[in-house]
Chains A and B, each alone.
Chain A
Amino acid sequence: MNLNLQSTDFELFDLPLQFSQDREAIDARWKELQREAHPDRFAGQGQAAQRIAMQWSVRINEAYQRLKDPLKRAAYLCELRGAPVDAHSNTAMPADFLVEQMAWREALEEARNEQELDQLDGELHRARREALQRIEHLLDQRGDATAASQQVRALMFIERFGHDVQARFEQLGQ
């Protein structure tokens, strides 16, 4: 295959066009590609060479950031399959999901020690794992990008909440 800067992340990394991926293969491929394209490979060959190498290197890093993160990978795949996530304009979520979110928010507000936070964090991990399993099923088995897109939005809520939990851990820890 002839690669160019417009190739998809999956083409660039020579990966099957699906959600399920082997993280180690992604890491290894990333390093292999950077070995060929990193600007250090062309040091002393002038500005034009540096500029082109940097474009490639930036592109490879961009793809790597997206592929290695399951959430970003899922969103990207939904977009490639014609069901973009549109997190900004599309915020409608099922009622039971929102109820769960509110319960978590309350638990975070009320958490007074690391133990309570740990429990919340564990719940969050479980929710994240389940969401990822649903996404994998929808994308790889059912081929339903629209439904997967909805799950990706839900996972985005969970991730954002996860950041708040981490911030709280840091408040308590330091």
Chain B
Amino acid sequence: MSLLQISEPGQTPDPHQRRIAVGIDLGTTHSLVAAMRSGVAQCLPDEQGRVLLPSVVRYLEQGGRRIGHEAQAAQAEDAENTIASAKRLMGRGIADIAGRDKLPYQFVDKPGMVMVRTRAGEKSPVEISAEILATLRQRAEDSFDADLYGAVITVPAYFDEAQRQATKDAAQLAGLNVLRLINEPTAAAIAYGLDNASEGIYAVYDLGGGTFDISILRLTQGVFEVIATGGDSALGGDDYDRALAEWILRRCDLRASSARDKAVIQTVARAIKEQLSAQDREAATVEIGQQRVQVEVSRAEFEAATDQLTARTMTAVRKALRDAKLAKDEVKGVVLVGGSTRMPQIRQAVAEFFGREPLINLNPDEVVALGAAIQAHQLAGNSTSGDLLLLDVIPLSLGIETMGGLVERIVPRNETIPTAKAQDFTTYQDGQTAMALHVVQGERDLVQDCRSLARFELRGIPPMVAGAARIQVTFTIDADGLLSVTAKEQTSGVEARIDVKPSYGLSDDEIARMLRESFSTAEEDVKARALAEARVDAQRMLLATQSALHTDGQLLSPEERAHIDALMASLRAIAENSTDAAAIEAATKALAQGTEGFAAARMNRSIQQALSGKNVEAL
């Protein structure tokens, strides 16, 4: 990747090379990939013309795997090895998974994130999700007959840090360059906003297969400002299926004990639910064990069996409006997103609450992927208009553990990201050189009620008397909503080293292992491809450095200039003569690192000029 391309916003660095960037909606029940084609965002179909890829991965008896429709078809016959709704498991421990006894999987309790035992071994939800992402990546590359430059991947707005990190890890495993994680409701708003050129306050009600989000946004001239977001990352259409499945079991006096039975009743419930969106009654045959029972469900019965779920979503809607300090009549439009919003009771509940009919003119299954594709196109530098800006927020407050298991809030929820907060700490013992910090996420006052994100250990504090050290710890949330922490002792200026022990997710070593074991490296032509990619990257880096030196070489001292020239000469020689992709990558990285200070100086100047220019204009 090049470090030095500084171009005017909105201009493509290289007009001859359009970068293929896609938007991916990694959903609980199904996933989609979309891209801009001839100026319009479109979902990309598979060879059979289907745009929805069921988010199901089946591990086969003879080795290998099936992803999507084929896997979904085998759900009942091979339930334990056919994993659906892996999104619900992302960044989650076994205790977090509601209703796990009703799922047909063999869960393995691991510190941080649960795993699923299959015939292909224990699989992390990250690996399972990576299979889905890799399938979509392949679909996109086939569609364009070109490599992907990068992808924007959507996550529920209410996903916490652990779930976001897991999603990013899955993308990395799938070989995707993640341009940005964006929130699903925001993506939906982009898809709607650009079509309608809307201004004002909008609410996005997003009920997917496994997650529920509500976001309140303000749209002004291409700026999408999220004012408040809320929801439940474990509530979705699946829960409606489950509630109906239980209702049917009760009504027919049946028991689903085996993995197969559980999958069967779930499938029947889902089919009935979908039919009830269009008609008032639906009948089906349930085959459980030796029994074969005919059941009929009316829409009213279905609605009664699930009204607690609908009510939970509306409670979150009210809370988000309170957070936004808005009355419901200030909302100019309500967008419905997610296949589950096809249920008439949802449309009715939303329409009643807001006193207006919701917007449904875009396909609720596709709208998130379409919005992500628009954003990906712009982030890749293809857009010439460049007038779209997302200002998103952190969905859950971030805090640290203090005395007595209490939480001290550092970053409040709904604050615009990126953001950074500094907090001072001191030592409580003479000569203390280390201290532990525990970072949690959530709105409750007790640590035990919040989600544990990470434990940090600050080391290398200079020994002083108790209370004399002033350790400033800075928590930074980047534009993807991910956290990083730095610490510095103020009186001595010593940087404290931070050992991060994530409470969740995967270490870099684990990712590296999965990468080695993964599909993407199993193929024969991987080496050739890696070499080609390394050469392209090297070339890009050289060109970018060259052009930066041409315009801003005067910022460098003669020594700095000589150092960069040497690095360039070395990279040029290696890229031409070597067939070792790793060696080329290393030389590219060396040049990137060697020019980092130069790049930073140029960036700083360019932003300064842009901001100061604005100041002058404003006068």
Listed in ascending order, the chain A residues whose CB lies under 8 Å from chain B are 1-4, 12, 14, 29, 31-49, 51-54, 56-58, 61-62, 64-65, 170, 174
Contact = CB atoms under 8 A, between A and B. Distances in A.
Contacts of A4: 608
B419 A31 contact: no
Interface string B1-18: 111111001000000000
Contact of A33 (B5, B150, B611): B611
B228 to A, nearest CB: 14
Contacts of B604: 52
Main secondary structure of the interface of B (DSSP, over half): mixed
B611 A54 contact: no
Contacts of A32: 614
Given A38-B389, A40-B379, A53-B607, A45 B418 contact: no
Interface string B459-497: 000000000000000001011000000000000000000
Contact of A48 (B420, B596, B619): B596
A86 to B, nearest CB: 14
A33 to B, nearest CB: 6
A31 to B, nearest CB: 5
A23 to B, nearest CB: 13
Given A37-B607, A40-B479, A45 B596 contact: no
Given A3-B612, A14-B615, A33-B614, A44 B381 contact: yes
Nearest to A5: B604
A48 B149 CA distance: 19
Nearest to B603: A52
18 contacts: A1-B615, A3-B612, A4-B608, A31-B225, A32-B614, A33-B614, A37-B607, A40-B378, A40-B389, A43-B150, A44-B149, A49-B3, A52-B607, A53-B603, A54-B476, A58-B418, A61-B416, A174-B315
Given A57-B418, A58-B476, A61-B416, A46 B607 contact: no
Contact of B603 (A33, A42, A174): A42
B239 to A, nearest CB: 21
Given A43-B380, A57-B418, A58-B419, A1 B612 contact: yes
A64 B416 contact: yes
Interface residues of B, number: 49
Contacts of A65: 415-416
Contact of A52 (B9, B149, B600): B600
Nearest to B421: A62
B592 interface: yes
A143 B604 CA distance: 36
A9 B286 CA distance: 66
A39 B1 CA distance: 16
Given A3-B608, A14-B615, A48-B600, A35 B478 contact: no
B419 A61 contact: yes
A31 B418 contact: no
Contacts of B507: none
Contact of B478 (A2, A37, A54): A54
Nearest to B420: A58
Nearest to A60: B611
Interface string B373-394: 0000011110000000111000
Given A46-B2, A51-B600, A56-B611, 12 more contacts: A1-B612, A36-B614, A38-B391, A40-B390, A43-B380, A43-B381, A44-B149, A48-B596, A48-B600, A49-B599, A52-B607, A54-B478
Given A45-B3, A47-B3, A2 B612 contact: yes
Nearest to A11: B615
Closest 5 CB pairs of A and B: A46-B3, A43-B379, A48-B599, A52-B603, A36-B610
Given A36-B607, A41-B9, A61 B418 contact: yes
A44 B125 CA distance: 28
Contact of A49 (B6, B9, B610): B6
A49 B597 CA distance: 10
B223 interface: yes
Nearest to B379: A43
Contacts of B378: 40
Given A37-B610, A44-B379, A58-B418, A31 B223 contact: yes
Contacts of A52: 600, 603-604, 607
A129 B278 CA distance: 54
A54 B418 contact: yes
B179 interface: yes
Contacts of A62: 419-420
Contact of B4 (A29, A46, A58): A46
Contact of A39 (B223, B479, B600): B479
Interface in B403-421: 415-420
B389 A35 contact: yes
A51 to B, nearest CB: 7
A52 B596 CA distance: 11
A43 B607 contact: no
